[in-house]
Amino acid sequence: MPNNLFRNIPSVNELLESPPLRSLVDKVSHNVVVAEVRTFLDPMRADIQTATKDIHVPSAGELAERIAGWIVTEQQPRLRPVINATGIILHTGLGRAPLAQAAIDEMAVVAGGYATVEVDPDSGQRSQRVRTVEKLLTELTGAEAATVVNNNAGATMLALAALAQGREVVVSRGQLIEIGGSYRLPEVMETSGAKLREVGTTNKTRIGDFDSACHEQTGALLRVHTSNYQVVGFTESPSLEELVALGRRRGVPVIDDIGSGALIDFAKYGLAGEPVASDSIAAGADVVLFSGDKLLGGPQCGIAVGRREVIEKLLAHPLMRALRVDKVTLAALAATLRLWRDPLTAELHVPLLTLVATSVENLKNRAERLVPQLAACSVVGTAEVVEGSTYLGGGAVPGQLLPTWCVALTPAKESVDRLAELLRRQTPSVFGRVHQNRLLLDLRSVLPSQDALLAETTSRCQWEHA
């Protein structure tokens, strides 16, 4: 065993004294450099231990250069994990739904190798990429057929293009939604090649308005769930059943964009009014569109379920290819859908639903447990438990508040905004929300397994490094 080689490996201190690393200590931080030097040296020691013949150990100077290069690369921007203490469970800026462990496991299994993405293992023949999840989607929604694309914006674009390119799509003026900047229904419609035919008014649209707009150039009737706003007061819009009856009579398909993709009724969790995919299918919609990473709690994707003949049209359109999902998404979606086959299992294992379903007592207990730990942090002035309310977010269920508990922090010095910034700059990054000059850490959106990490991360904060 060439253990004498160990003596040739420079010590951590020796390396820290070398010019390339000494200058990095000033630029980055002492702790970061020491940690990175160790992560570099440890595998080298392991290599030497298992080596059967002599291996080359670089000189201290050479090694220092290499480690410095590595640290500079490591400091490059990348996605940083976040503890989401904003209270917003579906935060698009923070990546929407955290995935179930079963989904993560299945993603890992297929990610590093090959998978039966477009082949049927029994026959060895080519098959549709979405066959894996289609069976689960039809089982859970009652639809005849299903397909999956990159996101719901993509699913909408695809459905409009495949069913109504060059023809008119009738939609209520009360449902011309904008979802986060670049998603504006009139623009999506234009890009798809379908022509928008607006009917009714902002607050009132009747089935008669749809009927009078129909003629031989009509390609589809579209209903859009007003996910992120509500029209209240003197309002009216036709029911899906009425639209379906009209569509049948006129011979045009009805597209129902339900947005959030609830597979069960969320009313029992205090979130009423979110359309359920199976209800839309039961009401007769020809195709129902929704996101995979909103209330379904899965990976980013857009799902279309509906009549076989309609789904076949979507599959045959060239946009299908441009918007297709990869094997990793399919694996995660299949695993998540399998959990939804039993709502109780979903409640336990789909993080989104677990967060929604967490009792206020649980949140209060956890907040109380965190208070002394957070109060002991040097950057924190005071910490106390406060009751509050939050939104689900992600453009779902507007106007409905979820009850919650938070830890409210005041800064030990400087301002509350600076405290918020300090927490955001950590790894993991901690996002809270500033309210009335306090930083609220809202436990509604914090995974219970991250409570300890939240306290630990806060305790690592120091003013001078901001």
Specify the residue, 329 or 373, whose C-beta has the smaller distance to ligand PLP.
329
Q: What is the smallest separation between the CB atom of 326 and ligand PLP, expressed in angstroms? A: 16
Report helix, strand or coil for 69: helix
Specify the residue, 70 or 183, whose C-beta has the smaller distance to ligand PLP.
183
Q: What is the smallest separation between the CB atom of 267 and ligand PLP, expressed in angstroms? A: 18
Number of continuous H segments (helices) and E segments (strands) in the chain: 19, 15
Q: What is the smallest separation between the CB atom of 156 and ligand PLP, expressed in angstroms? A: 6
Distance, in Å, from the CA atom of 363 to the CA atom of 370, rounded to the nearest integer, reads 11
Specify the residue, 146 or 430, whose C-beta has the smaller distance to ligand PLP.
146
Q: What is the smallest separation between the CB atom of 181 and ligand PLP, expressed in angstroms? A: 11
Distance, in Å, from the CA atom of 99 to the CA atom of 118, rounded to the nearest integer, reads 24
Q: What is the smallest separation between the CB atom of 320 and ligand PLP, expressed in angstroms? A: 16
- Structural contact between residues 437 and 381, judged by C-beta atoms closer than 8 angstroms: no
Phi, psi angles (nearest 5°) of residue 393: 85, -170
Q: Return the number of other C-beta atoms located less than 10 Å from residue 429's C-beta.
A: 15
Of all residues in this chain, which one has the CB nearest to ligand PLP in the complex?
259
Distance, in Å, from the CA atom of 443 to the CA atom of 213, rounded to the nearest integer, reads 49
Specify the residue, 258 or 335, whose C-beta has the smaller distance to ligand PLP.
258
Q: Of 380, 462, 443, 393, which Cα lies nearest the Cα of 84?
A: 443
- What 8-state DSSP symbol labels residue 275? P
Q: What is the smallest separation between the CB atom of 227 and ligand PLP, expressed in angstroms? A: 3
Q: What is the smallest separation between the CB atom of 97 and ligand PLP, expressed in angstroms? A: 11
Specify the residue, 71 or 337, whose C-beta has the smaller distance to ligand PLP.
337
User: Measured between alpha carbons, how far is residue 138 from residues 84, 305, 349, 438 in Å?
Assistant: 33, 7, 21, 47
Residues that bind ligand PLP (CB under 6 A): 151-153, 156, 179, 183, 224-225, 227, 257, 259-260, 291, 302, 395
- Structural contact between residues 293 and 299, judged by C-beta atoms closer than 8 angstroms: yes
Q: What is the smallest separation between the CB atom of 127 and ligand PLP, expressed in angstroms? A: 26
Specify the residue, 161 or 419, whose C-beta has the smaller distance to ligand PLP.
161
**Residue 42 burial (CB < 10 Å; 0-12/13-18/19+)?**
exposed
Specify the residue, 264 or 406, whose C-beta has the smaller distance to ligand PLP.
264
DSSP β-ladder status, 433-435 and 438-442? antiparallel
**Residue 50 burial (CB < 10 Å; 0-12/13-18/19+)?**
exposed
Specify the residue, 6 or 229, whose C-beta has the smaller distance to ligand PLP.
229
